[in-house]
Structures are given as structure tokens and as C-alpha cells.
Chains A and B, each alone.
Chain A
Amino acid sequence: MGLVVSAIAFLFAVAIAGAVAKRLPQASTVVYGGTAAACALIALWAALRLAGGGPDAALVLPVGLPWIQAHLRADALSAVFLIVVNLGGITASLFGWGYERAHHESHSTSQGGSQGHSQDGPVLPLYPLFLAGMNMVLIAADAFTFLLSWEFMSLASWLLVLSTHRDPETPKAARLYIIMASFGTACLLLAFGVLATAHGDYSFAAIRAHAPAAGAAALVVALILLGAGSKAGLVPLHVWLPLAHPAAPSHVSALMSGVMTKVAVYAMIRVLFDLLGEPEWWWGGVTMGFGALTAVMGVLYALMQDDVKRLLAYSTVENIGAIVIALGLALVFKAAHTPVIAALALAAALLHVVNHSLFKSLLFFAAGAMLTATGSRDLNRLGGLIHRMPTTAVLALIGAAAISALPPLNGFVGEWLLFQAILNAPALSEWSLKIEIAVVGAALALATALAAACFVRLYGIAFLGRPRSRAAAEALEVGRAMRLGMAVPAVLCVVLGVLPTPLIRLFEPALRLLVEAGPFDGRAYQPWFWLAPTSAIGNSYNGLIMLVVIALLSVVLVLGIHRKASDRVRWSIPWGCGFDGPDPAAVTQYTASSFGQPIRRAFGSTVFRARDHVDMPAPGDTRPARLSVTWTDPAWVVVVEPLARAVGWLAEKANRLQFMTIRRYLTLMFLALVVLLVMVAVTQR
């Protein structure tokens, strides 16, 4: 435990070094190298801790408020998330190092003009602080330290978003983010307040020992779903996320989207499974419902985006939905006293947490690589990058296939486990839950299928086809550090897809802690390359054999075809409906909006009120026809705008308080004192 705390202290030291020496050319090497080293140390410690077992590491630091010390503790659940956070930290540092250097060079040669984020000054000190904040949330063992770390993490990421303040979109995104973050922290503060009222002790151990009454527990569940849910991006509290995540530099976007949302998931698990004690059946039902809504809405939003990074941020919303569905299922099964199935669902959630942090980081890195190479993240200005950036194209393809849950990659394993848990619904006794799970299963399947469409669109438009701008036609492959930063998560995506069982075994201590069972309990011994969890439905999946068989069949096929078939190849110009100039703008190929049109029509016309407007010139008129797409975001119309109006109205009313005489102020203070005294008198009686 001392090791983890020292590593976090080291992150602070690196941040100070970065702040002091940010003008020096070696500053970014020191900051990113130091951060990666600290992250590697913590991740290694957590992995050894999980594999080796042993008692929880705990530490009490005499800091903080005078009468409560800072309790730190890393149990198995913390260890799982420490691995996720720090693995993301390592790859992001590697990529970020190359990214900042590339942007630095392009800035010093061309003096701006591109959309690149060349102002790396503020990023250097804040980046290690952000990672330190996330690590502190995971090891906090009392409400005070937890909230302090949580707020620290939020503020560090908020400042990182602001580091691109020259972009006109950024201030709006940052403002919305700080409002939502404050709202989330306020909810968490209230939740911990309710949890600790009975005994006044804010340490997690004391909260765990005193389970709250039913009414208080219900309040806590609602507050946690609001507080942690707004950080994770649960619909309809997701509005800030697709604005704020893309605004930061790409490696920070990857951390915010791939890792920080997981810290919010950690908060949900910590409170719902650990601190609140025995769950009631409806908690899971509500959680699952929000998860399903989030999954479907998130991917539908993603399908309408033209901005690569915003698309990825919305896809994060979808994946958080899937994770929250799994959490809800685990709660339901835990409440129904079928701990093995609960462990299965929770294992699916944790596996998806790891998987999503990997492929989402990878895809954000790929977006950063595209931004570096072309200066644009607008899909309609990309295209044909597979020829110009061959390595990035291969790695991004792995990420796109993994996030679309294609076997034998890791995304599929998580989805498969989740469906195994869903198929165990008959074990429950409540009818409403059984039917809800069927509907949630359908929603999850719909979200997965739409995600595949979404990533065909992203990859097909950005990497395939013909370039849609001069910048895309002249893009150059990114440097070695950036490619390596992408290659690490890509390789892990493949490895975890083929051999998921060792990782799930690694989760077992955490699962035993939370639901008192493991996903393989009572099942005859299975070799480590099989995935056969315990469930009423005895199924198995083996990605390794699948991969080997696919490889074998491909070899047979290629050899067979090439023995028989003609080997001749002729290169020719494809039929472009009469347009085939060298001008990238005059090519008749599908754009991002045209690719989305069928799905927009099938799904978006009611939910988003999406409309296509065609401006068709009269015969004889030589101006081009134009198509424009409009849509409205229901979350803005239903949630954000009324809320903003309410806040504005309240601020207007409160504004009067500023222009009163001293007499009235004193009266107000006196009245407040009287009210408080009356409250004390009533409650103490």
C-alpha cells in the first residue's frame, strides 16, 4: 500500500516538475515517462495483489480534517480498477508523448493554422494530476477522502478540457462539464451524508457495518445513480460528455472516455454492492432500465455524428449502458439469492470495463493520429487513409471490430458473458423482472447491432474510399511512439478475446467480496483456455479454437483457390457515375450523412425528429443540389433546457439579494438564526 501511495506522490512530483520546466524541450519526456513509470508500478502491484491474494492493504494517513484521518484501503475491487486506470495511463502516456511532439513540430514549422492542440503547456502538469486523482478515488476508504479525490479528478480533467481553450467550442463544453460535475459531486455528497447519518462515522468500514433503513437506502440508490451516473454518462445526464471528452487533447480524451467513466462505474459498484449491504430487487430493475436506455440512445446519437471524437464519446455512452445493464442484472440476481449468476453478471461488467477501456483508448488514439495527420476530425474531410496510414488503419480496424463485438476479439467475450447472464432470467421469481430482462436483452442486442453499423460507418468513411480533402490525400503516417501506443491496446484486445478466462479468474477475489461467489463455482475443472461459466444454461465458448480453426480454414481456402483459379489481376478505374476528376470534392462517393440515412430514417425520425432537406435546383440551373440534415436532441429539449431555464430563473430571483440595505440583510440573518434554532428545538425534543 505504501508503494501505491508513493507512486501517487511521485505523480504529484512529476506534475510539479512539469509545471516548473514546461518550457524545456525534455519536459514532455519527463512528464510522460514519469507518469508511465508510476502507472506501471501501481498496475503491477494491483495485478500481483489480485493474483497472490492475501489481506487487504490499508493505510491511515493523519491528514485531512482534524478529527477524521484519511483512510486508504485497496481491496480486490480497487485492485481491478487500479489495473484498468493505470493500464490506460501507460498507453495514454506513450501515445501522448508522441502526440505532443508531433504537434509541437507541426506548430514550430507551420505556425498554426491547423486545428491541432499545440498549446501543450497546461497539459503537462495537469496530466499526472488527473491520473493521481483517479488513483486516489480508487483507494479512498472514507467518504471524505473519496469525495475530495473525486472532486480533484473532476477539476483536473476540467482544466485539461480547458487546455484547448482557443477552440471556440471549448468554453461551452467546459462550462457544461463543470456544472454537471458539481451536480454529480453534490449528489454523491448527499448520498454519503445519508449513509453516515445514523452513526456519524464517515469511514467505509463503519458505513458497511451499519446498513441503512429501507427508505434511506432507496434515497442513496437514487443519488448514486444520479451522481456517479452523471460522471459515467447515463442518459439523460450524458449531455456534457460528448462535448467535453472530444475537446481535450486526444490522449486525454482517451483517458476521460476510456478510464474516468470507469471510475464512475467503480463508485456505483462500491456503493451499490459493498456499502449498502443486501440489495432489494427493484434496485437492479431501475439500474438495468437506465442501462438499456443509455445503450440504445448512446449508439443512436453516435450514428448521427460527423465528428470522429464526438462519435467515439457517444459510443462510450452506449458501452457504459451495457456495463450498467450488467450491474443491474448482478444486483437483481444478488437480491434473488442466486450468487453464482450474480457473479457471472458482475464478471461480465468487469470484463466489459477492461475491454472498453482498451478499445476506446485505441480508437481515441486512432482519432488523434488522424487529427495529427490531416488536421481534421470531421469525417467528411477524411477518407482513403488506409493507403496513407497503413499501420494506424490496421490497428483502428482491430479496435472497430472489437467494439462491434465481433468474435474472436474481446468485445464479443464480454457480450457473450452478459447474454449468458440474461438467459438465466427464469431463475428469478418476479414476473416484472423477467419481462424487463427480456426487453433489456432486446435493447442490448439492438445496441450491439447498431454499434456494428456505427463503426462500419466510422471506419469506412475515414479509412476507406477516396480522400475527401487535400489534407487527407496527403496525410502521413504518425510516429513510432504513437503507433506503439495504439499497438499495445490492440494486441491486448486480441489476446483477451482469445484467452479471456485467466482475466476472469483474476476478478474472482473481487467477485467473492461483492457477491460471495465466483462465476466458475461448482463447475467441473475447466482448462484455462475454455470459457465455461456456471449457469443454468451450460454453455461454453472458446475463442482460441475459433481463431485456430479460422486460420486453418483460411489457409486451406487460399491454397485451394489459388491452385485452381486464375491469378490475373487488372487495375482499372471504378465507375463513378460520370464523375472522376482528381478534385476530392467532386467524387460521387458516400458521405458520413448519406451512410447514416437509412438508419436515421428507420430509428431517428421519431426519437430525434431527424429530417433530410433536399435543395434541388430547377432544370437548367447549374448550381449543385444540396442535402441538409436536421435533428434535435431530446435530452436537451427534455432535460437540459428546462433545467437551464430553472437555474436562470432562480438566479434572477436570487439576484435581488444583492441590492438590499444593511437593515434587511440583518433581518434575513436574524430570521435564518430563528429558523435554525426552531429546527434544533424540534429535532432535539
Chain B
Amino acid sequence: MTPLLATLYQILQMLLVLALAPLLTGWVRLVKARLVGRRGPSMLQPYRDLLRLLRKEVVLARNASWLFRSVPYMMFTAIWLAAGLVPVFTTQLALAPTADLIALIALLGSARFFLALAGMDTGTSFGGIGSSREMMIAALAEPAMLMIVFSVAILVRSTSLAEIADFMMAGAVGLRISLALALIALVMVAIAENARIPIDNPATHLELTMVHEAMVLEYSGRHLALVEAASMLKLLLYMALIACVFAPWGMATAGSGVAAALGGVVVFVAKLAVGGTLLALFETSIAKMRVFRVGEFLGGALLLSLLGAIFLYVSRGV
């Protein structure tokens, strides 16, 4: 694999995730609408929404600082880079050795850190409510995520996503109870991190239940477009991550040609369609939790992932 091709794949991946993220959100919304008997908007509606927001003027609070204005760019870049690090159609990415799964989690943590700060910048109650709840959720979701990494890394002997995907594709793992526990925990974390039901409702603007939406309430215009696009990218990132670790089949590997990579793109789109449908099914069949039940939900995820790691030792004496 030449470095040139790896760089090309990397650029292609960066553009691909950017292009597909709104489509995935549109697909989830469409399936949800159909499931509750509405016709729902077109799958392309998120693109139109983003373009509309970009064309609108920005309304800033009188006391907003430079931090408030630069955070949308910072968080979007961080999440975009993180999405570019998860192998989606090939494991041969130029940036693969620069950052492993731990760095990826930390990159997402940076995005959240700055967005939470931005929520507090205007000095309104809603920003504070959103930031404090978001950090509480993150304080539980992040360790759970790292414990999932722990289980996978004990099994694969690497935290590099490309190596994890290669290892899983080789099929030497088989079915393992630890992996099942890690998968459940990862799905729970993904739901919390993406502000989906039952943790948070992406469509709500009811003050008592808002978390993520409250934090970004003061954003408008191009800033809001960036924040929304970053959320869409994050949803895609988590689906790609679950696919990469637990269902990496169809990805191009070292030695396979360009055709395999293009095939990988098609398979990835199919995986996203399945993932989006499952998410929509899950969201329509469950009610939202009270904010303070979230601790139990994510504490469960943390314990599951820890159990997964301990089971690994017990089952095989790794």
C-alpha cells in the first residue's frame, strides 16, 4: 500500500463522512416518521436545513465572547477528524497510526468540553442547564467507553482501529460473551453520546428535559449549521465505530485493490441504512427517561463493559 493511495483514501473518507452524515440523519427521521404513520420529510431535508441555516444571519448575545464564536469551528473540526479516523471502507488510512481509539475518544471529549464552555458563555440558564447535564452524562459515558476499549484491546492486543478491524475480519474471535457485553455497552454509550431517546430527545425544546439542545440554544445561522452538522457527523461516527469493531466485513484491507475499496463504500452505506433503521425502531419503541435516571442507565453500561473485561480473563485466562 503506497502512502499516496493511503492519503487519497484518507481524503476520500473525510469527504465521504461529510457527505453521508446528513443523509443518515434524514434516513433516521424518515423511518421514524413512517413508523409512527406520518409520511415524513424527504431524506434530503437535513441538507436543505443546513443550507438554509448557512444563509441566515448570526444573532449573537451581547456578551458573547470570542470563545462562543470559535467553538462551532473547533468542535466541528474535532468531530470531523475523529470521523475520519474510524475506518469505514478501508483499513488503509494515512492517519491511522497518529491516533488510536483512546485518542479518538479524547478528541470527542475535546469537542464536548468546548461546546459545554460555549453553553456557559452567554450566561443564560439554559446554557448552564445543558452544559452541566451534558458533562454529567459524559462523566459516565466516557469511562464506559474506555472500558469497552479495554475489553476489545485485551482480545485484539491493539487499540488501533485499523488493527481491530483487520483482526475481527480475520474471524479468529468467534462468538464471545465479552464482545456481546461490550456491544451492548457501546450501543448504550452511543445513544447517550448522541443525545438520542431515552437519554435525550433531539427534537425537544421543552426546558425540563433538554440536554444537548439547551446547550446550543443560543446558536444561530452558520454557527448553528456547524453545530447541527457536527451532531450528524457524530451519529455517523458512532455507527461507523460499532460497524468497524463488531461488523467490519466488506472493508478493503492491505493488499486488496481500489475496486475492493469502492465495494467497501457500498457496503458501508448499506450498514448505515441498517443501523439507521434499527435506531429508528428503538427510538419509537421506548419512552424518554427522567434526567436523573441517566446515571443508572450509564452506570449499567459502565458495569457491563467492566464485566466484559473481567469475563475475558475468566473465560480464557488471557
Task: Report A's interface with B, CB cutoff 8 A.
Answer: 383-384, 386-387, 393, 397, 401, 404-407, 412, 415-416, 419, 422-423, 425-426, 431, 434-435, 438-439, 441-442, 445-446, 448-450, 452-453, 455-457, 459-461, 464-466, 530, 532, 536-542, 545-546, 549-550, 553-554, 557-558, 561, 564-566, 568-577, 587-590, 594-599, 601-602
Contact = CB atoms under 8 A, between A and B. Distances in A.
7 contacts: A384-B123, A415-B106, A449-B141, A452-B139, A541-B98, A588-B125, A602-B140
Interface stretch (B30-38, B40-48, B62-70, B273-281): B62-70
A599 B299 CA distance: 13
A439 B61 CA distance: 45
Interface in B293-318: 295, 302, 306, 309-310, 313, 318
Given A554-B73, A571-B60, A595-B128, 5 more contacts: A549-B81, A557-B76, A570-B57, A572-B61, A595-B120
Contacts of B131: 456, 460, 590, 595
Given A404-B113, A554-B77, A574-B218, A542 B143 contact: no
Interface string B136-178: 1011111100110010011001111001000000000000000
Interface stretch (B196-204, B221-229, B240-248, B251-259): B221-229
Contact of A589 (B109, B128, B138, B302): B128
A397 B57 CA distance: 29
Contacts of B57: 566, 568-570
A359 to B, nearest CB: 14
A412 B100 CA distance: 13
Contacts of B88: none
B133 interface: yes
B313 A434 contact: yes
Nearest to B222: A565
Chain A binding surface SS class: helix
Contacts of B80: 553, 557
Given A537-B158, A566-B57, A453 B139 contact: yes
Nearest to A468: B123
Contact of B136 (A539, A542, A576, A599): A599
A386 B143 contact: no
B139 A384 contact: no
A553 B124 CA distance: 31
Contacts of A561: 54, 73, 222, 226
B136 to A, nearest CB: 4
Nearest to A387: B65
Given A541-B103, A561-B226, A573-B62, A452 B113 contact: yes
Given A464-B117, A590-B120, A558 B73 contact: yes
Contact of A602 (B59, B116, B295): B295
A453 B123 contact: no
B191 interface: no
Given A401-B113, A599-B136, A546 B65 contact: no
Contact of B147 (A386, A445, A596): A445
B54 A566 contact: yes
A622 B262 CA distance: 69
B263 interface: no
